[in-house]
Amino acid sequence: MKIHFRDVQTGNVEARAIMEIADGVFLNEITILNYNGEIAVEFPRKSFVGKSKRTHYIDIVSFVDNSKRQVWEYEIKNAYTEWRKTNKKVLVYNNKSNIDGGSS
């Protein structure tokens, strides 16, 4: 399984992934999330607003059972961990800096 990651610097989102699921067939917008230090994988979903004005979600990828989904998540997490070892996250802005308007 070939996976390409793209770094993202927004909130809990660590990266986005594109995965080749078959020869020449790609699955886009797999999201790698960081919830309190735990890496999570989110597969793409389609959302639409129904007649009742309620938002409905449909999974783009369906699995025959939960264990198959967990195997894919595990493989993606491992690939992400290996990718992150060679591609360190660069902090562009530290919002915890103590800026006081220039006075010393």
For 31-96, where are the alpha helices, taking DSSP H only? 66-86
Query: Residues 54-99: pLDDT tens digits?
Result: 999 999 888 999 999 999 999 999 999 999 898 877 666 555 555 5
3-state helix, strand, coil in the chain (%, to 5): 20, 45, 35
Residue that the structure tokens 């309190």 belong to = 36
Query: Residues 35-53: pLDDT tens digits?
Result: 888 999 999 999 999 999 9
Instruction: Give CA–CA dist 31/40, Å, rounded.
Output: 8
Domain boundary assignment for the chain: 2-86
For the range 31-40, what are the long-range contacts, defined as Cβ-Cβ under 8 Å and sequence gap of 24 or more?
32/5, 32/76, 32/77, 32/80, 39/14, 39/77, 39/80, 39/81
pLDDT for 101 beyond 90: no
For domain 2-86, the CATH class is: alpha beta
